[in-house]
């Protein structure tokens, strides 16, 4: 077993509210994403349901499924290193 310090990027898409000037308030994004990431932080991913084989690709799909119904997702990207990453556009 080995570990990684993953970096996750969540990309949203949709129409910008003309009155507010944004798609979604970043605080609302954090309110959805942070609890999901907290479930993974400093854990053995293999022991989490759905992550028994925690490749970056599987992790990106797992994250997509965990947040897609709460945010207007366009993409979830998971990076193991600066040049080793994958992205999911639909989970």
pLDDT of residue 5: 84
Write down the pTM of the prediction.
0.91
- Domains of the chain plus CATH, in order, are 7-88 (3.30.479.10)
pLDDT in tens, 33-80: 999 999 999 899 999 999 999 999 999 999 999 999 999 999 999 998
Contacts of 32 (CB under 8 A, 6+ apart): 67, 70, 71
Q: Is the pLDDT of residue 13 over 90?
A: yes
- Are the CB atoms for 26 and 83 separated by under 8 Å? no
């Amino acid at each position: 077993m080995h570990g990684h310090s993953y970096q996750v990027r969540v990309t949203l898409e949709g129409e910008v509210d003309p009155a507010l000037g944004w798609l979604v308030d970043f605080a609302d994004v954090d309110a959805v994403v942070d609890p999901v990431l907290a479930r993974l932080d400093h854990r053995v991913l293999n022991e989490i349901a759905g992550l028994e084989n925690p490749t970056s690709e599987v992790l990106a799909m797992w994250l997509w499924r965990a947040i897609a119904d709460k945010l207007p997702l366009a993409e979830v990207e998971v990076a193991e290193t600066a040049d080793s990453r994958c992205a999911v556009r639909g989970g």
